[in-house]
């Protein structure tokens, strides 16, 4: 079966599909768009999604799997600015279970973030078992204790945990979402970061909060086996990111500022 099929009766030869294709696999010929380099298709779906006449289909990204929207929602700029600025890292969580359905919604939107060459390639492990979560904190503290000369071995975190049982690693969040990718996948970190950015922003719309678990990521990238074995990551995969999720205990009253904007015009 051909990669791309064109309904010649519907095609008005407007050429948008040709212009929009990122790897330029289409060329406009006398009888409509023709595929000139099918192997370069990245399955982004643009050709199919943009066609004003439903004349083109692509077996790698079938129209049947696309959603038709009459009006693509656009929120006003002020609302968007306030929404984006109101995402904050949450480090105090309610002791409330997050339904699986809500957690699935989070990772299901994360997979729509941009990825290099549309390779995607990120899988998620959702940890909800309190025993495993406790163990994650415990072994990460042990890893810090074993590496006390390193900058990321925070004595305050160790002491708070050992003396008062305070979890400064996962902040007692009821869930940890781990991203994984194949070991030889080059853009895995960038793809993970963008997917988690989507996840974190969308979390707010579900009344959830989140925070990057950077210490877990560092502990994993140092190949600390007691942590890695907790996640049961397949041999051909690596941990590429970690984010904690739960219902925020407190709400922020103000939007904070950042460093002054640094822009150069040329
Ligand atoms: C790569 C990365 C790693 C991070 N690691 C942690 C972490 O281990 N623990 C934590 O509480 N926050 C972590 N954060 C959250 C940052 O501290 C936070 O984004 C920053 O202080 C700005 O605050 P805001 O997210 O509330 O706007 C991390 C963020 C990023 C992007």
- Ligand 1 touching residue 211 (CB < 6 A): yes
Cβ atoms of 220 and 165 closer than 8 Å: no
pLDDT at 1: 81
* Average pLDDT value for residue range 6-25: 97
**Domain boundaries along the sequence of the chain:** 4-65, 77-246
- Ligand 1 touching residue 89 (CB < 6 A): yes
Coil, helix or strand for 90?
Answer: coil
Nearest Cα to Cα of residue 171 among 100, 95, 81: 95
CATH fold of the domain at 4-65: Alpha-Beta Plaits (3.30.70)
Query: pLDDT (tens digit, 9 = 90+) per residue, 134-151?
Result: 999 999 999 999 999 999
Nearest Cα to Cα of residue 245 among 195, 215, 219, 206: 206
Query: pLDDT (tens digit, 9 = 90+) per residue, 66-95?
Result: 999 989 999 999 999 999 999 999 999 999
pLDDT at 169: 98
**Angle in degrees, CA 63, 190, 258, rounded to 5:** 115
What percent of the chain is modeled with pLDDT above 70? 100
Atom of ligand 1 nearest to the CA of 87: 27
- Ligand 1 touching residue 105 (CB < 6 A): no
CATH fold of the domain at 77-246: NADH Oxidase (3.40.109)
Of 83, 87, 89, which is best to mutate to test ligand 1, by the most ligand atoms within 8 angstroms of its C-beta? Answer: 89
Measure 178 CA to ligand 1 centroid, in angstroms.
15
Work out the mean pLDDT of the chain and round it to a whole number: 97
> 93 - beta bridge partners?
248
- Ligand 1 touching residue 90 (CB < 6 A): no
pLDDT at 23: 96
Measure 90 CA to ligand 1 centroid, in angstroms.
9
Query: pLDDT (tens digit, 9 = 90+) per residue, 180-205?
Result: 999 999 999 999 999 999 999 999 99
Output the 3-class SS for 94-159.
CCCCCCHHHHHHHHHHHCCCCCHHHCCCCEEEEECCHHHHHHHHHHHHHHHHCCCCCCCCCHHHHH
């Amino acid at each position: 079966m051909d990669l791309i099929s064109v309904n010649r009766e519907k095609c008005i030869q407007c050429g948008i599909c040709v212009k929009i294709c990122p790897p330029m696999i289409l060329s406009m010929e006398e009888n409509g768009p023709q595929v000139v380099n099918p192997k370069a298709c990245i399955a982004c779906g643009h050709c199919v999604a943009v066609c004003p006449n439903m004349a083109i289909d692509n077996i790698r990204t079938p129209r049947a799997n696309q959603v038709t929207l009459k009006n693509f929602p656009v929120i006003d700029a002020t609302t968007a600015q306030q929404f984006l600025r109101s995402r904050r890292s949450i480090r105090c969580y309610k002791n409330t279970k997050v339904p699986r359905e809500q957690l699935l919604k989070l990772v299901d939107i994360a997979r729509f973030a941009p990825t290099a060459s549309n390779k995607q390639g990120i899988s998620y492990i959702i940890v909800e078992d309190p025993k495993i979560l406790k163990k994650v904190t415990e072994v990460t503290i042990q890893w810090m204790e074993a590496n006390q000369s390193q900058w990321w071995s925070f004595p305050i975190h160790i002491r708070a945990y050992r003396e008062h049982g305070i979890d400064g690693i996962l902040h007692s969040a009821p869930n940890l979402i781990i991203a994984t990718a194949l070991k030889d996948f080059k853009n895995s970190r960038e793809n993970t970061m963008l997917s988690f950015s989507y996840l974190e922003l969308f979390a707010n719309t579900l009344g959830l909060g989140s925070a990057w678990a950077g210490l877990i990521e560092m502990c994993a990238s140092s190949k600390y086996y007691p942590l890695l074995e907790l996640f049961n990551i397949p041999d051909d995969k690596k941990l590429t990111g970690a984010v904690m999720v739960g219902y925020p205990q407190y709400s922020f009253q103000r939007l904070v500022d950042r460093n002054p904007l640094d822009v150069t015009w040329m």
